[in-house]
Amino acid sequence: MYELKPQYFTGIEAIDEQHSRIFKLADDAYKLLKDENKLFKDDDLKEIVKGLQDYAKYHFTEEEAYLEKMGYEGISKQVEQHKWFLGEVNRLAEKLSEISLGNQDSLIEKTLERLTTWFQEHIETLDMQMK
């Protein structure tokens, strides 16, 4: 369901390769949501959210260094959105302490909503301005 499609390619190989990781994590979350054979999803969701935290810290550091090196004028907007995303992922991680059978799917859905927004508003829009 979630894959790095052409509209998300910046043409910057290292960044596109890193973006493929976040799409993989989104796909993992989608598969977890749809898995009707798995009763307890908390460990898997915690692993996905931890992966998002690790991804964001690494990718944002790399992307911001690249933009700075290139003298990219829109770097402040990028940094601002990166901070927002990392904050959202950290808030999701905090909510995982309250995970239960009754709310695990809604937490996965919330994760996917945040990622979909990120793909559309950041990668597809703002990151494309780096081309």
Query: Domain residue spans in the chain?
Result: 8-130
Residue 76: exposure state from Cβ atoms within 10 A (0-12, 13-18, ≥19) = exposed
Pick the CATH number of 8-130 from 1.20.120.50, 1.20.150.20, 3.30.379.10, 1.10.10.10: 1.20.120.50
Residue 131 has pLDDT above 80, yes or no: no
1-10, 15-24, 38-47, 53-62: which range is least confident on average? 1-10
For the whole model, what pTM was predicted?
0.92
Residue 31's pLDDT band (cuts 50, 70, 90) = very high
pLDDT recorded at residue 130: 83
Q: Locate tokens 């960044």: which residue?
A: 15
Average pLDDT, integer, range 20-45: 96
